[in-house]
Amino acid sequence: MEDRYPIVDNNLFDDPAVHEPRRSRLAGWFKELIQLVLIVVVMRVAMDVFLPRYVVDGASMEPNFHTNERVIVDRITMVLGGPSRGDVVVLNSPTSPDELLIKRVIGLPGEQIVIDDGYVYVNGAPLNEPYVTELCTYPSCEGTWELGDDEYFVLGDNRMHSLDSHSFGPVEASAIQGIARVRYWPLTQADILLAPEY
């Protein structure tokens, strides 16, 4: 009479060779997970170092930037050569060490900047500024500045309500954290930030 149930050799389950494929698959999966986590961490650190994100706070760049908008800043260009005229930059405040400012680069190293009756002149030539809707008419906004070899002149687009180079003068390149390249929040205002053509 034929047996209805096969006889199982219990010693088979104690054989290490049976468990090896399962252990190997588990070790491979764990290794892949560790690699994925490391890649994500490295990418996040690289983003924070080279393309950090900042939140706009204040009205100094209105109507072009508003409080709570978020921008991605490019630090790489600062290392390769610095900002161009018209670039929007994030910089350390010369008056409050723990505060960051967002301003527009108006003057480049070695230039002469003159502000007369609210209008900006670079090396004697008037600067066309379509991003400014209201000129600063306060006497404190006027003056002449000679920029050093490593200095930039920065102004807010909202000239009547901006703490900028009108007040604290030119800023050194080392004070500039980076150039705002992308506005990503709110989504309705998301765009690539390009310097105007003068």
Query: 44: which residues sit within 8 A by CB, 6+ positions away?
Result: none
Picking from 189, 184, 150, 155, the residue whose alpha carbon sits closest to that of residue 51 is 184
Within the chain, how many helices (H) and strands (E) appear?
Answer: 3, 12
Query: Could you tell me if 71 and 163 lie in one domain?
Result: yes
Distance (Å, whole) CA 55 – CA 186: 11
Residues spanned by the domain of 167: 53-192
- Domain for residue 5, yes or no? no
Query: Could you tell me if 149 and 187 lie in one domain?
Result: yes
Active site residue 162: no
Tokens of 61: 């760049």
Q: Which pLDDT does position 17 carry in this prediction?
A: 52
Q: Which pLDDT does position 103 carry in this prediction?
A: 98
Q: C-alpha distances in angstroms, 10 versus 14, 15, 107, 177?
A: 7, 10, 84, 69
- Domain for residue 198, yes or no? no
Active site residue 103: yes
Distance (Å, whole) CA 175 – CA 29: 46
Domain count, the chain: 2
Percent of the chain with pLDDT over 70: 84
- Domain for residue 94, yes or no? yes
Q: Which pLDDT does position 157 carry in this prediction?
A: 97
Average pLDDT over residues 105-133: 97
Q: C-alpha distances in angstroms, 51 versus 11, 39, 40, 47?
A: 60, 17, 15, 5
Query: Could you tell me if 34 and 109 lie in one domain?
Result: no
Average pLDDT over residues 80-106: 94
Where residue 137 falls among pLDDT bands split at 50, 70, 90?
confident
pLDDT digits over 96-111, tens only? 888 999 999 999 999 9
Catalytic hit among 24, 31, 84, 103: 103
What's the CA angle centered on 180, arms 75 and 191, to 5 degrees? Answer: 135
Where residue 93 falls among pLDDT bands split at 50, 70, 90?
very high
Catalytic hit among 60, 162, 165, 167: 60
- Domain for residue 14, yes or no? yes
Per-residue pLDDT at 46 exceeds 80 = no
Contact 107, 153 (CB under 8 A): yes
Percent of the chain with pLDDT over 90: 66
Q: Note the pTM of the prediction, 2 decimals.
A: 0.78
Where residue 31 falls among pLDDT bands split at 50, 70, 90?
confident
Average pLDDT over residues 6-34: 63
Per-residue pLDDT at 54 exceeds 60 = yes
- Domain for residue 3, yes or no? no
Contact 180, 89 (CB under 8 A): yes
Query: Could you tell me if 102 and 159 lie in one domain?
Result: yes
- Domain for residue 143, yes or no? yes
Query: 149: which residues sit within 8 A by CB, 6+ positions away?
Result: 109, 110
